[in-house]
């Protein structure tokens, strides 16, 4: 333990250090609340978060949330920055007075190695045992006092997902006095230094402080014998994915019908309570037909994320990474690319930021360029709309046909990403295979509170986007589709004479070879902001394309009647490769510090999307003739 010298003082700043996914950032948010700012470290794209926390004694303390790291032998830019900040080697950066090592209490075997490395630096050190509630639920009993004695530093328990889960940490910080001068550190001869010695020391400490962990480890190994098997492991993964995509359609029908009924009731009430006019048209044809058409897919998005969050919380997803690691290496992707690729199923923006863990620049560029091909959640409303309109709801053996089609579309995104990575490896970006080095977390049942919080956050994000970005765009589209008004004696729908109608007729020749009509051409424009916007845009466009109007809840049967099957298949093929939303291109520009890569990304995706839609449309026409 660091010895005190005369005139001890409270730390003015602390750095939170820990493995990825140990709850470090959640603890930082709990400590600082709204008193934080986010920026990049000087000269690099690694993100930094700094905030203030106020102790019970009135003392204010600066808190730095450093990037997650597995070791102080850096293999990535994030880990390099963490080490430089702790050691005070970054010019212009404040050196933290002390280090708080945030440790996942459910996985001490992986986390304690970093703590032992931090101890070697000789900086004032405090250990925060996070996720203690989850550890207790899994039957882990940790002797905190004995752990503090073995590590030679204070150890406190925290639960970052609870409002007062940082109370013990705040209390310790209030009384934790540091030397005014950094003492010379003299390590004993037997202090572990090599990786093998560190791991041996970790096992020794674990045997003392948490003896109940050993039986649990044996059970984990028995499960892994199946989950990581080169054949049966892949079969298990395929079955899990099949179940997920079947559930997206089979379990969502009831909630979607309820939302549709609610939209219909709101639409009917608006018609009965308001006289005809622009305001009623805005509410019915713009807001309800546009934003409401997207909101109906909320149940399917929540079901998909429920399974993803459950697999992540259970400890299975890292096993999937190891199963696919060899295949990824053969096509030119680093083993570390799996986590960004997995993140892309939610959104490409955080996935691109997650590529910072890839040390080799060329490997990172390859991963960034293929990430947008993975099917993100923004595509799900488009797929669900078209599958619901054109694919019969019938069983194929034990599976649902619609679920099978959705599975094929997701698989097509993965296959296309693998194909582009393989091509870049041979004719473009030359890279090398970097094996995935990751210690597997223990299996455990997903925590319901964690699942609920995760679903709430994603549902809130989706609804917020419907209420802000999508709402704004469909209102603008409604205005462009309503004005100028038709001339006297006009017999067609209002939109045909409007600015949006003129734009659609201008773009139609470009998209006619792939089967898109002018209504689809109009809806494609706002979808550049976010892919799911096309559903709301189609709702508004078709609501105004019928002279007597059309309610939002009728969008699916309207397109089923208006479009041919080849057109629907062509649009599905387009969205497998669709050019990225503007937010993704901006993030690529920020991460690569060049417009070369986002422009190349947009260009190759447009060409792929157009070619895939063209071939699909022509083959479908030939097949039906």
The string of pLDDT tens digits covering residues 24-57 is: 888 888 888 865 655 555 555 566 788 888 887 7
Name the residue with higher pLDDT: 327 or 477.
477
**Domain locations in the chain?**
13-211, 219-625
pLDDT value at residue 185: 43
Tokens for 563? 């479009």
CB 281 within 8 A of CB 478: yes
pLDDT value at residue 2: 41
pLDDT value at residue 568: 93
CB 540 within 8 A of CB 546: no
- Tell me phi and psi for residue 315, to 5 degrees: 95, 5
Residue 49: which H helix or E strand, with range?
Answer: strand 47-54
Distance CA 501, CA 512 (A): 15
Span 6-14, mean pLDDT? Answer: 66
pLDDT value at residue 322: 75
Residue range 337-390, pLDDT digits in tens: 777 887 787 778 778 877 876 767 788 888 899 998 988 878 888 898 899 889
Residue range 228-282, pLDDT digits in tens: 888 888 888 888 878 887 787 778 878 888 887 887 788 788 878 888 877 887 7
pLDDT value at residue 617: 95
Residue range 551-563, pLDDT digits in tens: 444 678 888 888 9
9: pLDDT confidence band, cut at 50, 70 and 90?
low
190 pLDDT more than 60: no
155: pLDDT confidence band, cut at 50, 70 and 90?
very high
Name the residue with higher pLDDT: 586 or 547.
586
CATH 3.40.50.300 assigned to domain 13-211? The reply is yes
User: Cis peptide before 484, with omega less than 30 degrees from 0?
Assistant: yes
414 pLDDT more than 80: yes
549 pLDDT more than 50: no
Orientation of helix 533-545 relative to helix 380-390, angle to 10°: 50
Q: Three-class SS string for 514-571?
A: HCCCHHHHHHHCHHHCCCCHHHHHHHHHHHHHCCCCCCHHHHHHHHHHHCCHHHHHHH
Name the residue with higher pLDDT: 535 or 513.
513
Distance CA 447, CA 137 (A): 9
Phi-psi category of residue 435: left, alpha or beta, with phi > 0 → left and psi -120 to 50 → alpha: beta
4: pLDDT confidence band, cut at 50, 70 and 90?
very low
pLDDT value at residue 613: 95
pLDDT value at residue 179: 64
Span 607-623, mean pLDDT? Answer: 94
Which residue is associated with the tokens 């713009």? 286
């Amino acid at each position: 333990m660091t010895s005190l010298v005369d005139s001890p003082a409270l730390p003015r700043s602390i750095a939170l250090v820990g493995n990825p996914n140990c709850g470090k950032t959640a603890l930082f948010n709990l400590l600082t609340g709204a008193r934080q700012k986010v920026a990049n470290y000087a000269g690099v794209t690694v993100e930094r978060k700094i905030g203030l926390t106020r102790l019970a004694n009135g003392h204010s303390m600066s808190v730095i949330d450093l990037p997650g790291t597995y070791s102080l032998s850096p293999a990535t830019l994030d880990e390099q920055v963490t080490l430089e900040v702790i050691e005070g080697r970054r010019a212009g950066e404040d050196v933290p007075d002390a280090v708080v090592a945030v440790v996942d209490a459910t996985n001490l075997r992986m986390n304690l190695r970093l703590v032992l490395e931090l101890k070697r630096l000789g900086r004032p050190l405090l250990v925060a045992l996070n996720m203690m509630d989850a550890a207790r639920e899994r039957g882990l009993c940790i002797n905190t006092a004995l752990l503090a004695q073995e590590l030679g530093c204070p150890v406190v328990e925290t639960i970052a997902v609870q409002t007062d889960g940082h109370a013990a940490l705040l209390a310790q910080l209030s009384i934790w006095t540091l030397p005014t001068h950094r003492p010379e550190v003299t390590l004993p001869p037997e202090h572990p230094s090599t990786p093998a010695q560190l791991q041996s020391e970790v096992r020794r400490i674990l045997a003392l402080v948490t003896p109940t962990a050993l039986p649990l480890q044996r059970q984990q190994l028995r499960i892994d014998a199946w989950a990581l098997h080169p054949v049966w492991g892949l079969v298990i993964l395929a079955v899990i994915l099949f179940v997920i995509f079947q559930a997206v359609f089979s379990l969502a029908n009831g909630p979607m019908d309820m939302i549709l009924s609610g939209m219909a009731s709101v639409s009917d009430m608006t018609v009965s309570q308001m006289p005809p006019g622009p305001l009623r048209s805005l509410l019915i044809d713009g807001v309800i037909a546009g934003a409401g058409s997207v909101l109906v897919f909320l149940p399917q998005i929540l079901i998909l994320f429920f399974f993803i969050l459950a697999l992540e919380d259970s400890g299975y997803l890292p096993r999937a990474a190891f199963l696919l690691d060899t295949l990824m290496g053969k096509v030119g992707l680093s083993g570390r690319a799996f986590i960004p690729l997995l993140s892309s199923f939610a959104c490409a923006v955080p996935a691109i930021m997650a590529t910072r863990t890839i040390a080799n620049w060329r490997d990172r560029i390859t991963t960034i360029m293929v990430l947008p091909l993975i099917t993100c959640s923004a595509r799900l409303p488009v797929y669900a709309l078209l599958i619901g309109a054109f694919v019969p709801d019938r069983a194929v053996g034990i599976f649902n046909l619609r679920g099978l089609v959705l599975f094929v579309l997701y698989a097509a995104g993965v296959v296309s990403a693998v194909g582009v990575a393989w091509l870049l490896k041979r004719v473009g970006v030359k890279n090398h295979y970097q094996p995935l080095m990751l210690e597997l977390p223990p299996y455990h049942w997903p925590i319901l509170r964690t699942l609920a919080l995760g679903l709430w956050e994603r549902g809130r994000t989706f609804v917020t986007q419907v209420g802000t970005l999508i709402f704004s765009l469909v209102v603008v589209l409604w205005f462009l589709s309503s004005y100028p008004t038709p001339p006297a004696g006009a017999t067609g729908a209002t939109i045909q004479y409007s600015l949006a109608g003129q734009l659609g007729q201008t773009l139609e020749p470009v998209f006619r070879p792939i089967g898109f009509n002018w209504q689809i051409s109009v809806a494609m424009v706002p979808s550049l902001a976010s892919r799911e916007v096309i559903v709301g845009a189609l709702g508004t466009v078709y609501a105004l394309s019928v002279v007597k109007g059309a309610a939002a809840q009728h969008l699916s049967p309207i397109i089923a009647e208006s479009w041919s099957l080849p057109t629907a298949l062509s649009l599905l093929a387009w969205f497998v490769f669709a050019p990225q939303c503007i937010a993704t291109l901006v993030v690529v520009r920020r991460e690569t510090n060049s417009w070369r890569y986002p422009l190349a990304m947009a260009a190759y995706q447009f060409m792929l999307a157009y070619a895939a839609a063209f071939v699909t449309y022509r083959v479908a026409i030939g097949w039906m003739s």
